Amino acid sequence: MIDLTDLRFAWQKEDIINIKTLNIQKGQHLFIEGPSGSGKSTLLNLLGGVLTPQSGNISILGQSLNQLSSSQKDTFRADHIGFIFQQFNLIPYLNVLDNIILPCAFSAPRKARVLQRAASLKAEALRLLTALGLNQTELLQRNVNELSVGQQQRVAVARAMLGSPEIIIADEPTSALDSEHRQAFIKILFDECQKENITLIFVSHDSSLKQLFSHSLDLRKINQIKYKEVL
């Protein structure tokens, strides 16, 4: 359901990505490994349609991103992909609830899907938080800065999963967590993606996480660009 062909991307004149081909199946939980600066985030930005490749094509859910205008790509991303980042995933001036339902402000289909399964956005946010192990109702109105990093990351997962997008892209979501929480977090993420049949793309420099995934690959192996060690 995600197909990359002859994908090339360069920041200014510096080539970062050159991938001949990559296929990701629906429902797959894929781990992409690569050291810092190897171009993982750049690749995810290309998948999200935020960056446009110099050449080659990305097709997601049968839709070629090349055929979309940049604003259509933004809409496409909002409709079909949820993102989780390393840390500070949340908008500091919005409370937990508003952070979780934020995608609905930019995607009508996602909002419709939420309302199909739940009575309200709030009810769905609460359901997701409970599923992720944060079951205090009062949490919804809390300022996100009052949460622990682990709680913040779970709120970020809840936001990514709201309205069941087909794909979740996680960019080093566990880097800020200690090893105990890391395992628990990945387990919850897996469970929820499983339930909703969501395709998960998880990138990290931490190769020890590889064993938790059914599928994994090393970016350095598929990328034609030779990774230059950053001092």
Ligand X SMILES: Nc1ncnc2c1ncn2[C@@H]1O[C@H](COP(=O)(O)OP(=O)(O)O)[C@@H](O)[C@H]1O
- Which 167-206 positions form the footprint of other proteins (CB under 8 A)? 171
Starting from the edge strand earliest in sequence, which strands make up the sheet with 199-204, in order? 81-84, 167-171, 199-204, 29-33, 215-218
d(CA 62, CA 60): 5
- How large is the greatest C-alpha to C-alpha distance in the chain, in angstroms? 53
- Binder of ligand X out of 29, 31, 41, 58 (CB under 6 A): 41
Q: How far apart are CA 133 and CA 170, in angstroms?
A: 19
- Minimum CB separation from Mg ion for residue 203, in Å? 7
* Interface with ligand X: number of residues (CB under 6 A): 10
| Contacts with Mg ion, 33-62, as mask; x by CB under 5 A | --------x---------------------
Q: Is residue 86 a contact partner of residue 171, using CB atoms and an 8 Å limit?
A: yes
Distance of closest approach, residue 86 Cβ to ligand X, in angstroms: 9
Two tokens at 29? 């939980």
Report how far Cα 101 is from the mean position of its chain's Cα atoms.
16
- With CB under 6 A as the contact rule, the residue among 7, 24, 29, 38 that binds ligand X is 38
Residues 41-100 interacting with other proteins (rule: CB under 8 A): 41-42, 44-45, 48, 50-51, 70-71, 74-75, 77-79, 83, 85-86, 88-94, 98
Smallest distance, Å, CB 211 to other proteins?
27
Q: Using CB under 5 A, list all residues that contact Mg ion.
A: 41
